[in-house]
Amino acid sequence: MADESQYELDEETLFLVSQTFKALSDPTRIRILHLLFEEELSVNKIAETLDLNQSNVSHQLRFLKNLRLVKYRRDGKTIYYSQDDEHVMKILQQSIDHATHH
């Protein structure tokens, strides 16, 4: 892979990269994604587990969904969310490990 650090970053790249890291810059979203390391979960289950407002969870999930970091499937009245970006989840996992062991 060519070294590209000598070039100015174009706006599209800057926006995409910054948005992705913004998703990971909020404790609530980190907690939600951390839960989704393991398994798919419903909105209510996430809200209960993390002791968060249902509306808050829904808003954050929309944010993550727009960035395609999570996906969902409906089963009756319940909507199950799960992770949808291996690369980002791996980065998050690594960073949590890094922070935990220091």
Residues that bind a second copy (CB under 8 A): 1, 4-6, 8-9, 13-22, 24-27, 30-31, 34-35, 37-38, 87, 91-100
Query: Which residue in this structure is represented by tokens 């996906």?
Result: 71
- Minimum distance between the CB of residue 56 and DNA, rounded to whole angstroms? 4
Length of the chain: 102
Distance CA 1, CA 13 (A): 17
- The SS3 call for residue 20 is helix
Residue 74 found at the interface with DNA (CB under 7 A): yes
Residue 82 found at the interface with DNA (CB under 7 A): no
Cβ proximity to a second copy, 7 vs 75, nearer residue: 7
Q: Is 57 exposed, middle or buried (0-12, 13-18, 19+ CB in 10 A)?
A: buried
Residues that bind DNA (CB under 7 A): 22, 25-29, 42-45, 52-56, 58-63, 72, 74, 76-80
